[in-house]
Structure 1
Amino acid sequence: MQLEYHQVDAFSDRPFAGNPAIVYRLDHWLDDALMQQIAGEHNLAETAFVVKQPEHWHIRWFTPTTEVPLCGHATLATAYVLFNLYAVPGEVIAFNSLSGPLRVTRVGQRLELDFPAQRIEPDNALLDEVAAALGVSVEAVFVGPELLAVVADEATVRECQPNLASVATLPGMGVIITAPGQQHDFVSRYFAPSIGIDEDPVTGAIHCSLIPYWSQRLAKLEMRAFQASARGGELHCRLVGDRVKIAGDAVLVAKATLLLGDI
């Protein structure tokens, strides 16, 4: 069996920045264990698999070690591949996923994700433990699908050198560290070693929590965000009711064929 795949750098307008994702457009689902093996072989933060259904596309995302319920950059990458390489018509692609219905819309040169907002709750009982794992002073901790650690400034975010073994023991899928930005409304980084991602370069899904938090704190509905990893990436964010809109660029960097022999 041979499977075509594409590698896209999401939330970047140039190669070797943003967050790379592998995209497979399948005619039918593969065995779950095989998809996990393929994701492990690529060893990127996310590998996306997508299958056409009558009214939408069904999308699934795998880290090198597990399937996850939501992924932003790999959804952006998948929409880029469907629009530009498989000539899917129209301006909107509808996906179904473990997190329910998702949409990606062409907005000028960018693609805009339409994801569910995720509300978070304060839990400063974890403050000392999170601060110790991150190795920085933490002002507040919030709990959602990930832990959100708020720190004083962008320099603290950029200079953070977490103890990844300690981060992996914390509740949730990972830890977001965030602060007000100097040239952006807010900045962040994301560490998720418990699901096989020491640091994710640019993470659309964590902005489902970040956008409502910063919208309330800054009293703004539209914001520019930057994920300050080594690769880095810019996200254009909007809060619209109980949905978040996350727009970014994408660029194709590779296409190839996976050879699976007689599998």
Structure 2
Amino acid sequence: MTIPLFQVDAFSDRPFSGNPAAVCILPQFPGDDWLRSLAAEMNLSETAFLVPQGVPQDVPQDHGYQLRWFTPVAEVDLCGHATLAAAHILWSEGFLPESAIARFMTRSGELTAENHQGWLELNFPSQAITAIQSQGDRQILEQIFGPNVAFMGEAGPDYFLELDSDQHLRQLQPDLIALAQLSCRGVIVTALSREPDLDFISRFFAPQLGIPEDPVTGSAHCSLTPYWGQRLGKTNLVAYQASERGGWLTLRHDSERVYIRGQAITVFRGELAHPPQ
């Protein structure tokens, strides 16, 4: 049994930038221990596991896959860059025709991706921002990020902070040991951009998931897009995640959905020498 395995740089049009993800295509899901072990072996922020499933009868031109995401230490409910990487592999390796819509059945419901001449667009759920429930966590965040915080909230599984300047955001070096004590998936930190062709920038920290800083986090933009869209009075935005590798995203907010568009490039392709038994 041949199990194809790929590494893809998502939200980039050139290798060794953007956010790397592994993509593994399986005939069926093995046990969770095997999935976690392969994700730990790949040692990337996310590994995407795909299993083909039946094509819906009412949309025969579309193709469905079950999709799961694992960090080196845990399974997660939603991941943007690994979904972008998975869609890229399905089209670039000929698993899907470029005109097909890629449909993914996930823990977060059905997600879709479309190929617009090399620009891949993800259709993800919008995430509202609410008040932080844990006062203890709020105090930790205030201690870590100090007086530069302009807004603080909770975005689903993540904490969400706006800083008072993009300069403070770019220079940020938070205490990762303290961040790992928080009862959340990760911390989204964002700021308004001073650059005229860029609306906002962000960074994402998730040491509790084995990801000190994620290079480009598609799922974080499920809350960033409606937040900045409302602030700026715009439905279409351009964003940059200011990690060391960095990555660009074009975004659109429509009612309860966020459309995240980016590029991706394959870094290597191969097959597993020791597939699951």
Q: TM-score range by the shorter chain?
A: over 0.9
SS in 2 for 1:142: strand
Pair 1:71-2:85 in alignment:
no
| Conservation of the 8 A alpha-carbon contact between 2:30 and 2:276 | no
Instruction: Give the aligned partner of residue 105 of structure 1.
Output: 114
TM-superposed deviation, 1:153: 1.2
Alignment of 1:242-257 (within 5 A): 242-257=256-271
Unaligned stretches of 5+ residues in structure 1: none
| Whole-angstrom CA distance in 2 between matches of 1:17 and 1:179 | 22
Tell me, yes or no, if structure 1 residue 95 matches structure 2 residue 104.
yes
Q: Tell me the alpha carbon deviations over residues 74-104 of structure 1, each in whole angstroms, 9 at most, x when there is no partner.
A: 0000000001103412331111100001000
Cα 1:171–1:257 change in 2 (3 A) is same
| Aligned residues between the structures | 263
Q: Distance in 1 between matches of 2:147 and 2:67?
A: 37
Partner of 1:176: helix, strand, or coil? strand
Cα distance between partner residues in 1 of 2:108 and 2:251: 19
Q: Does 1:139 align with 2:153?
A: no
Would the aligned equivalents of 2:34 and 2:276 in 1 still touch at CA under 8 Å? no
Decide whether the 8 Å contact of 2:7 with 2:23 is kept in 1.
yes
Counterpart CA distance in 1 for 2:272 and 2:220 is: 30
SS across alignment from 2:30: coil
CA distance 1:258–1:119, change in 2 (3 Å) = same
Secondary structure class of the residue paired with 1:166: helix
On the 8 A contact 1:136/1:160 being kept in 2, the answer is no
Task: Show the counterpart of 2:66.
Answer: 58
Aligned-partner Cα distance in 1 for 2:8–2:142? 34
Q: Single out whichever of 189-198 and 126-135 deviates more from structure 2.
A: 126-135
Q: Report if aligned partners of 1:131, 1:137 keep a CA contact under 8 Å in 2.
A: no
Q: In percent, how many aligned pairs have the same letter?
A: 43
Given residue 20 of structure 2, which amino acid in structure 1 is its aligned partner?
Answer: P
Structure 1 segment 2-151 matched on structure 2, within 5 A = 3-55=3-55, 56-89=64-97, 90-123=99-132, 125=135, 127-134=138-145, 137-144=148-155, 145-151=157-163
TM-score normalized with structure 2 length: 0.91
The Cα of 1:158 is off from its aligned counterpart by 0.8
Distance 2:232 2:210 in 1: 33
Q: For 1:235 and 1:104, locate their aligned partners in 2 and report how far apart those are by CA, in whole Å.
A: 15
Which residues of 2 match residues 151-162 of structure 1 at below 5 A?
151-162=163-174
